[in-house]
């Protein structure tokens, strides 16, 4: 069986390639992809060859919704026609799966999937749930920090993790503030998400604005970027015995070290997360369906499968402005 896939043949290169999928066994499902979403952080690290375990050539991605087209006799958890979330694949060609979401079709065991629905959801729900792992990182962070009504939360980085964290915080009655450096992103969010407070890290009046928003200091500081000087500067805006939530990628050990002394002086509790769990899947999909997570509003680009490489051009260069990107297969 042949399928089209996005392949990174080497660092900073990307292409569409035809791969040979194995024949399904009794424990396998054949899943045809409906939609996959590009992760703007993890996939960029993989493309650069900097993510832990990066191997070339590889098929990237971990956001994928598909329909079950066939299943083996041992598969009892899903039915043909089910809409499922997940990925998993092997190919006859010497190509690694990093985690292999951007493919037209897959053959793999049923254990790697979650049920989305028994019938095809509406487009907004499909697009929202397609980002369930990335939004699940936000969910895991908000849970880890135990965000509560009335609290103030300052998030470094108005990417999808930061924005979804802010949406979840608002849903809990908290008061989030996002920091970003990109004026195009801030302009986009002012129109797409006017309920969010987004400030520029380059604003000469930033300190005064943050003090006005949280006179006693923010209860929670969330880092989704990993730029140590910014984190150090914003730690000073956290109240004593507040929470520092670290959710960025910290691969660059020489540049990502933060000032532990001022964290100690403020007696901050440091929380970290890595990946997501089943509870994050369940809570995230419920919040998408409830409208608390408004992910379709964050999608700037939608591509067909034959246009997928355009998405990676945007990921690679960062221009023009892009945030959420999905591929409709």
Residue numbers of the domain that contains 211: 135-272
Q: Are 93 and 43 in contact (CB under 8 A)?
A: no
Query: What is the pLDDT averaged over residues 50-70?
Result: 95
The answer to whether 42 and 118 are in contact (CB under 8 A) is no
Q: What is the mean pLDDT of residues 26-36?
A: 97
**What is the β-pairing status of strands 269-272 and 238-246?**
parallel
Say which CATH number the domain at 240 has.
3.40.50.720
**Which domain CATH number covers 24?**
3.90.180.10
Decide: 153 and 220 in contact? Cβ < 8 Å: yes
pLDDT band at 323 (very low <50, low <70, confident <90, very high): very high
Distance, in Å, from the CA atom of 270 to the CA atom of 77, rounded to the nearest integer, reads 39
Residue 186 backbone zone (phi > 0: left; psi -120 to 50: alpha; other: beta): alpha
* Whether 247 and 306 share a structural domain: no
Both 127 and 139 in a single domain?
A: no
Task: Tell which residue, 191, 256, 251, 178, has the closest CA to residue 218.
Answer: 178
- The bridge status of strand 58-60 relative to strand 96-98 is parallel
Q: Are residues 163 and 265 in the same domain?
A: yes
Please check whether residues 27 and 122 belong to one and the same domain. Answer: yes
* Same domain flag for 181 and 122: no
Q: Is the pLDDT of residue 255 over 90?
A: no
Note whether 156 and 179 are same-domain residues. Answer: yes
**Does a structural domain hold residue 282?**
no
Q: Are residues 36 and 53 in the same domain?
A: yes
* DSSP secondary structure letters along 283-304: HHHHHHHHTSS--GGGEEEEEE
Give yes or no: residues 264 and 161 share one domain: yes
Residue 182: pLDDT over 90: yes
pLDDT-based confidence at 53, cuts 50/70/90?
confident
Strand partners, 86: 113
Answer yes or no: is 277 within a domain.
no
């Amino acid at each position: 069986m042949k399928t089209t896939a996005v392949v990174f043949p080497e660092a900073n290169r990307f292409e569409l390639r035809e791969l040979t999928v194995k024949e399904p066994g009794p424990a396998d499902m054949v899943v045809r992809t409906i939609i996959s979403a590009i992760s703007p952080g993890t996939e960029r690290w993989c493309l650069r060859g900097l993510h832990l375990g990066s191997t070339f050539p590889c098929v990237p991605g971990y956001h994928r919704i598909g329909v079950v087209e066939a299943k083996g006799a041992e598969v009892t958890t899903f039915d043909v026609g089910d809409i499922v979330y997940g990925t998993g694949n092997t190919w006859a060609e010497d190509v690694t799966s990093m985690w292999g979401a951007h493919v037209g079709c897959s053959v793999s065991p049923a254990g790697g999937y979650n049920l989305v629905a028994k019938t095809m959801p509406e487009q907004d729900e499909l697009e929202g749930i397609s980002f369930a792992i990335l939004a699940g990182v936000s969910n895991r962070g908000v849970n880890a920090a135990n965000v509560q009504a009335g609290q103030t939360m300052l998030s470094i980085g108005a990417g999808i993790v930061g924005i979804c964290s802010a949406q979840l915080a608002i849903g809990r009655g908290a008061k989030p503030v996002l920091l970003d450096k990109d004026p195009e992103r801030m302009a986009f969010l002012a129109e797409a998400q006017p309920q969010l407070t987004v400030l520029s890290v380059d604003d000469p009046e930033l300190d005064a604005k943050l003090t006005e928003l949280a006179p006693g200091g923010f209860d929670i500081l969330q880092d989704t970027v990993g730029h140590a000087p910014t984190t150090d500067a914003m730690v000073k805006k956290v109240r004593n015995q507040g929470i520092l939530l670290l959710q960025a990628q910290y691969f660059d050990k020489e540049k990502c070290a933060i000032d532990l002394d001022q964290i100690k002086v403020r007696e901050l509790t440091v929380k970290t997360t890595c990946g997501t769990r089943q509870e994050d899947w369940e809570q995230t999909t419920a919040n998408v369906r409830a409208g608390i997570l408004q992910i379709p509003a964050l999608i700037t680009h939608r591509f067909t499968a034959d246009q997928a490489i355009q998405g990676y051009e945007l990921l690679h260069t960062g221009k023009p402005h892009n945030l959420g990107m999905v591929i409709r297969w």
